[in-house]
Amino acid sequence: MVIVDEKQFMIHPVAPPPPYIASSTSQPPPPFPHHQHRPISTLAALPPHLLLKIVYLTFPQTPGVDEGRVERQRKTLYWLEVGLRLVNKAFYIACMHVLRSTYLPAYDSLIRPPYTSDPFPLSLPSPSHTSFPPTSPTSPTSSSPYSPSPDPHQYQPQSILLQRETQILDLFIALKVREDVWMDDSELHLERDESFKDLFDLMQPRSRMEDLVRHYGVREGVVSVGPEPIAGVGVSVSTAGSGYTTRTPTSSSNPSSSSRRTQTRPRPIPFSSLSISFSPRTVGLILSNSSRKRTIVQVARNSRDEKLEYAAKRLVKELGVWLAGEGSGRRS
């Protein structure tokens, strides 16, 4: 038995322990090694081809209790359209790959002859009219979920970003997935043909015409799809009014003379400023800016069944004449 004498502690107090100071050279004790914290991995951070494979695996392969396998897969497509693709950019790219490749045959079957369709362009514009470094484009309908896909954060061809018919395909998908699910849920639901009629009687040929004007216009040098030219040393760009002209000073025939002549040539119109007015009798080019819109070129259609390529070529030809006339008008 130990008898504690409290008086001894009061007479000889014990000094407190020294404060603990962490040393920068001291290592933490095991089993906790010192290492930097790694960022938390997420599903969206996976490579695109693996993320696409996961999206494909969400489709059921067996029938349910009250519905078949096809009906369950249609509901999955509806979920991709209204839910999963809105999560972030990576999921949007993977979901739209699946949706576009699934509904592209149905979209093509509703194109009115002799109209054509090309929502997935494979050709690139010329390098002088391209704002991004050229890459090897790949059709979304031909890639496999098992093959590596390009990084979605890298630059993409400008022609793919400018393809306006792709927007019509996306509108068709949004309408079609809803109609399919409603028809599976109720036999009394009737598909509304007038909704598809508006798409393929007006919106599809108009957007296709805009893409054709871009294609032929870039080839003829009257339409640009890249950034607008920047005025530099020795070059002045005039955009006042409606005259799209570029004036490049050149040396005169007499080297001793300080006078310079100005060579004026039409400057291509940015494709983002152009749109199409489409009707059964005429088609026109509309030039838009921050203040107003106006029709600058209009041509007549030979018939309702005229191919869009013919009308687009005539529009591009008349656009070149309009640009030349605007440039000569400003010079005079």
pLDDT digits (tens, 9 = 90+) for 181-192: 988 888 887 777
Segment holding 57, helix H or strand E = helix 48-57
Would you say residue 233 has pLDDT above 90? no
Predicted local distance difference test score (pLDDT) of residue 43: 84
Predicted local distance difference test score (pLDDT) of residue 52: 94
Listing DSSP states for 249-274 in one string gives EEE-S-TT---EEEEEEEPPEEGGGE
What span, in angstroms and rounded, lies between the C-alpha atoms of 118 and 309? 12
Predicted confidence (pLDDT) per residue in 98-124, tens digit: 999 999 999 999 999 899 999 886 544
Predicted local distance difference test score (pLDDT) of residue 60: 92
Question: Looking at this protein, which amino acid is placed at residue 60?
Answer: P
What span, in angstroms and rounded, lies between the C-alpha atoms of 175 and 246? 45
Q: With CA atoms as reference, report the closest residue to 312 among 226, 239, 237, 210.
A: 210
Asked if residue 265 lies in contact with residue 258, where contact means CB atoms within 8 angstroms, the answer is no
Q: Which of these ranges, 36-45, 159-168, 251-260, has the smallest mean pLDDT? A: 251-260
What span, in angstroms and rounded, lies between the C-alpha atoms of 314 and 332? 27
- Which residue reads 């090309």 in tokens? 118
Look at strands 274-278 and 282-288 and give their pairing.
Answer: antiparallel
Contacts of 219 (CB under 8 A, 6+ apart): 126
Predicted local distance difference test score (pLDDT) of residue 86: 93
- 231 or 288, which is more confident? 288
Please compute, for residue 114, the number of CA atoms within 13 A of its CA located in the half-sphere on the CB side: 9
What value does the mean pLDDT take over residues 13-35?
Answer: 64
What tokens appear for 198 in the block?
A: 């508006």
Predicted confidence (pLDDT) per residue in 56-104, tens digit: 999 998 888 878 899 999 999 999 999 999 999 999 999 999 999 999 9
Predicted confidence (pLDDT) per residue in 254-313, tens digit: 554 444 444 556 789 999 999 999 998 999 999 998 888 999 999 999 988 899 999 999
Asked if residue 249 lies in contact with residue 231, where contact means CB atoms within 8 angstroms, the answer is no
Question: Looking at this protein, which amino acid is placed at residue 210?
Answer: E
What span, in angstroms and rounded, lies between the C-alpha atoms of 73 and 86? 19
Q: Which of these ranges, 25-34, 107-116, 131-140, 237-246, has the smallest mean pLDDT? A: 131-140
Segment holding 103, helix H or strand E = helix 89-109
Predicted local distance difference test score (pLDDT) of residue 225: 86
For residue 250, what are the β-bridge partners?
A: 261
Predicted local distance difference test score (pLDDT) of residue 1: 57
Query: How many C-beta atoms surround the C-beta of residue 79 within 10 A?
Result: 15
- 88 or 250, which is more confident? 88
Predicted local distance difference test score (pLDDT) of residue 27: 60
What value does the mean pLDDT take over residues 120-132?
Answer: 48
What span, in angstroms and rounded, lies between the C-alpha atoms of 2 and 275? 101
Domain ranges of the chain: 44-222+268-331
For residue 282, what are the β-bridge partners?
A: 300
